[in-house]
Amino acid sequence: MGLTETRLGLIPATIGPCVCARMGEARARRVFMSGRRFGAAEAVDLGLLARAVPAADLDAAVEAEIVPYLDCAPQAVAQAKALLRHLGPVIDEATIAHTIRELTTCWEGDEAVEGIGAFFAKRKPAWQG
């Protein structure tokens, strides 16, 4: 996994608010700015994943997560979800518009042209020497 946009001269703008809300700013900084890849165990540690299981255990793990929800009142679950969204970081139209503006600025910049060009040409971008 990884938020590799910065390796291309871009920023993880569109997904940024959701990732930051999930991981917190300090943890998000570690992966936003480095563009590095990381495995499932680190994704759990970063708070990006709730848990990771071997492929052979996936069906049982999904079942174990789903079953408790089936015992809950659907409207109460919906209201709890809405309450958490209200209590958590604001991801509203203004936030989304801001991320779009920031990404557009990056797309129009010299680094994005170089980074994306390098990616398609299968070469290192100029900033990597």
- pLDDT tens for 32-48 read 999 999 999 999 999 99
pTM above 0.85, yes or no: no
- 37 forms beta bridges with 2
Q: How far apart are CA 98 and CA 95, in angstroms?
A: 5
Domains delineated in the chain: 1-52+92-129 (3.90.226.10), 55-89 (no CATH)
Q: How far apart are CA 4 and CA 32, in angstroms?
A: 8
Would you mind telling me the total number of residues written for the chain in this entry?
129
Q: How far apart are CA 101 and CA 63, in angstroms?
A: 40
Task: Report pLDDT digits (tens) over 54-113.
Answer: 999 999 999 999 999 999 999 999 999 999 888 888 889 999 999 999 999 999 999 999
Tokens of 90: 């604001």
